[in-house]
Amino acid sequence: MKKYVFGADLGGTTVKLGFFTTEGKLLNNWEIPTDKSDGGSHIIADIAASIDGFLFGSGIPKDEVEGIGLDVPGAVSKDGLVLTGVNIGWEGTKDAAGELSALTGLAVACANDANAAALGEQWMGSGKDTDSLLMVTLGTGVGAGVIIGGRIVAGAHGSAGEVGHTALFPELTEKCGCGNSGCFEQVCSASGMVKKAEAYQKDGCFAGIPMEEVTPLAIYKAMERKLPEAEAVWASYTEDLGRGLAVFASVLDPDIIIIGGGISHAGEALLSPVRESYRKHVFYPAKDTPIVPAMLGNNAGIYGSARMVLNR
């Protein structure tokens, strides 16, 4: 194996890049803007130029680099083709890995960003030394990744691990962004928590906060002040989150469940009631599966992307 490997985490605003040893030590990291103009046609060339510039400036020859891992915000087929990339301007199927490899002369592996983050946590984060895990990221939506045997489980259509779009709440009739209704994401995302708060509004306010200013952080702070409506929303949210995790664990039976994203910053105020709900609902052999916070933060994607190359 060669000495070094790159990881690239392609987001809607920036591309995060990391330069690692093949043992997993992050040596350098930086960002470049994501140029979505002209249908995102400049993005891959910009990544290639940034990597080539880094190598030139550092004096490291390419024959010491194992390759580049690239994660993208969209579905990726099992043969590495990007199937959806609308958030970055791409339309139709795109061979991003092939294009980047042709421009840099390096091997490239490609995967979905949530899957890459999960792999990063399994390699050098909260899931280190485990064989399997489920990572769920709680943000504007609900992202997730499944790792089995130290490798990403992408599925036949690149959609394995899309727990956010599991129909767990049939009582919901409002459509999810995916076109279905009753999705886990509709209830357990940041917007899902705010939606719960709407049921407790009075005179356009929730716990004294104008509804347009209600966020998960505001709900959390109100819950800390022991305001009854905030406590009720928090209890409902953590109950639903734990129940959903129990469903997924009953199917996957991972060694560990990792929670990331902005809402996870609530720490034990979130995790403790989630664990309680999880234990009530999960199939009994998996009752003691650890549920822990993510460790790598915004760097999880570059770690996982780099690891993808080493897993080829």
DSSP state of 176: P
Residue from 63, 246, 229 nearest 166 by CA: 246
3-state SS class at 69 = strand
Q: Which residues pair with 4 in a beta bridge?
A: 21, 65
Q: Which of 47, 114, 158, 70 is nearest to 300 (CA)?
A: 114
Average confidence score pLDDT of the chain: 95
pLDDT grade for 106, boundaries at 50, 70 and 90: very high
pLDDT class of 278 with cuts at 50, 70, 90: very high
C-alpha 66, offset from chain centre: 25
* SS3 of residue 271 by DSSP: helix
| pLDDT at residue 157, as a whole number | 82
Average pLDDT over residues 113-126: 96
Confidence of residue 46 (pLDDT cuts 50, 70, 90): very high
pLDDT at 7: 98
> Is residue 287 over pLDDT 80?
yes
CB 35 within 8 A of CB 43: yes
Q: Which residue has the tokens 């099992």?
A: 78
- Give the lowest-confidence range in 42-56, 149-163, 279-293: 149-163
Mean pLDDT of 5-29: 97
DSSP 80-104: S-B--BGGGTB-S-B-HHHHHHHHH
User: Is residue 212 pLDDT above 80, yes or no?
Assistant: yes
Ranges 73-77, 161-165, 304-308, most confident = 304-308
Instruction: Report the distance separating Cα 303 and Cα 9, nearest Å.
Output: 9
Residue among 286, 210, 216 at smallest CA distance from 252: 286
Q: Parse the chain into domains and list their residue ranges.
A: 4-121+299-310, 130-294
Q: CATH number of the domain at 4-121+299-310, out of 3.40.50.720, 2.60.130.10, 3.30.420.40, 1.10.287.610?
A: 3.30.420.40
Contact 71, 112 (CB under 8 A): yes
Tell me the two tokens of residue 210.
């104008």
User: How would residue 142 be classed by pLDDT, with cut points 50, 70 and 90?
Assistant: very high
What pLDDT is recorded for position 84?
84
Distant-in-sequence, close-in-space partners of 194: CB < 8 Å, separation ≥ 6: 214, 215, 216, 219
The mean-pLDDT minimum among 18-27, 154-163, 199-208, 284-293 falls in 154-163
The mean pLDDT value for 257-277 works out to 97
pTM of the model: 0.94
What are 235-247's pLDDT values in tens digits? 999 999 999 999 9
Instruction: Using the predicted structure, report yes or no on whether residue 86 has a pLDDT greater than 80.
Output: no
Handedness of CA 214, 267, 292, 20 (dihedral sign): positive
Topology, domain 130-294: Nucleotidyltransferase; domain 5 (3.30.420)
Compute the distance between CA of residue 114 and CA of residue 135 in angstroms, rounded to an integer.
8
Give the model confidence (pLDDT) of 182-208 as tens digits.
999 999 999 999 999 999 999 999 999
Answer whether 4-121+299-310 and 130-294 agree in fold.
yes
Q: Give the model's pLDDT for residue 77.
A: 87
pLDDT at 177: 87
